[in-house]
Amino acid sequence: MRPGQFKPYYIYRYLRWKLGDKRPLSAVAKVTSECNLKCDHCPWWGRDVEDNTTEGWFEAFQKARDMGATHLILEGGEPTNREDIDDLISYGKDLGMLVMMITNGIKDLKKHDPDSYWISLEGFGKTHDENRKEGVFERIVENIKQYPQVNKIVGVTLNKRNSHQVEKIASFFSPITDGVWFNFMYPYQDSKNLALPLTEQNNIAKRIIELKKKNEYNIISSYSYLNSIANKRKKEDCPSFLTLLIDTDLTFHQGCTVEQIEECRCEVCNLACYGELTEAMGLNIDSLKFLKKTTGLDDRLLWLN
């Protein structure tokens, strides 16, 4: 039985987390550092680290499951680049995990069978292609339209280049996907010029709230998270322990993704995954719905039925 199919399971986990249990919910596995796009600005492809074997990943997934993770996110590089990706998906499912794959969306979506896809966008149309490759945006749209039955959301990390396209992205992708998700770029030292200032992030969050209120768009970012953009975050409030990061060399890191790269500054962080988790831990229903959507929990959380 997969954990999500046992309805009270997440209530049990929630109570344990509240009592101080620090077991993770999601394992994010960088299964490859290869990518079929090789975008100029991307730090992930071509890293000096060899991809691990199928068996190595099976062991890592088992370890993550033993640690408590029930949700497996496969990313890279581009995970579909691995020839054994179907074996990795099946293994995760056999362990009882719900499997999501983050992809650049250019390979045929029907070829693999994760519980859901997360297609990452750099922006709309040319803005996307300027950061990826010419023709990629069109290919993604074709791919999405070709397989309406495949469960997929699009995710956009907002920055100075694409934040003016919020409405365009929401209106175009709402009818053809299972949801549009917005994130705000963290001002890492090497990308701080591209990240939006906090006041600007707050204005954009308000704009997204207005769009959501119209009910015309399928924006899955929660009101609770969008409203929280106005607040300064604190490390002690962030349930980053819910995330387990597994690097290509199979090293495990539980907690904040920022601190893997540099010292974290919570007061400038609006990373949506952690922001939504914070709100969900506060039992805000719309953030729980966001988790339900992105972790593939379907209708299985008792309090959401």
Q: Is 44 in the site for ligand SF4 (CB under 6 A)?
A: yes
Please select the residue that binds ligand SF4; options are 38, 164, 213, 232, rule is CB under 6 A: 38
Residues shown for the chain: 305
Contact 220, 204 (CB under 8 A): no
Which residue number, 73 or 211, has a Cβ lying nearer to ligand SF4? 73
Q: Is 42 in the site for ligand SF4 (CB under 6 A)?
A: yes
Q: How far is the CB of 281 from ligand SF4 (least distance, A)?
A: 12
Number of neighbouring beta carbons within 10 Å of residue 15: 11
Q: How far is the CB of 191 from ligand SF4 (least distance, A)?
A: 12
Binding mask 116-155 for ligand SF4 (x = CB under 6 A): ----------------x-----------------------
Q: How far is the CB of 273 from ligand SF4 (least distance, A)?
A: 8
Binding mask 77-116 for ligand SF4 (x = CB under 6 A): xx-------------------------x------------
> What are all long-range contacts of 207-216, with beta carbons under 8 Å and residues at least 24 apart?
207/166, 207/167, 208/166, 208/170, 208/182, 211/166, 211/167, 211/170, 216/171, 216/174
Which residue number, 34 or 178, has a Cβ lying nearer to ligand SF4? 34
Q: How far is the CB of 253 from ligand SF4 (least distance, A)?
A: 12
Q: Is 240 in the site for ligand SF4 (CB under 6 A)?
A: yes
Measured CA to CA, the distance from residue 305 to residue 230 in angstroms comes to 31
- In the range 144-203, which residues lie near ligand SF4 by CB under 6 A? none
Q: Which residue in 26, 11, 2 sits closest to 291, CA to CA?
A: 26
- In the range 255-274, which residues lie near ligand SF4 by CB under 6 A? 256, 258, 264, 266, 269, 271, 274
Residue position matching structure tokens 């060899």:
50
Contact 55, 91 (CB under 8 A): no
Which residue number, 68 or 187, has a Cβ lying nearer to ligand SF4? 187
Which residue number, 95 or 121, has a Cβ lying nearer to ligand SF4? 121
Q: Is 219 in the site for ligand SF4 (CB under 6 A)?
A: no
Angle between helices 166-173 and 198-213 (to 10 degrees): 30
The strand pairing partners of 99, in sequence order, are 72
Q: Is 58 in the site for ligand SF4 (CB under 6 A)?
A: no
Measured CA to CA, the distance from residue 40 to residue 130 in angstroms comes to 10
Measured CA to CA, the distance from residue 105 to residue 126 in angstroms comes to 16
Which residue number, 211 or 238, has a Cβ lying nearer to ligand SF4? 238
Applying CB under 6 A, the site for ligand SF4 has a residue count of: 23
Measured CA to CA, the distance from residue 107 to residue 114 in angstroms comes to 14
Number of neighbouring beta carbons within 10 Å of residue 236: 6
Which parts of this chain interact with ligand SF4 (CB under 6 A)? 35, 37-39, 42, 44-45, 76-78, 104, 132, 233, 235, 238, 240, 256, 258, 264, 266, 269, 271, 274
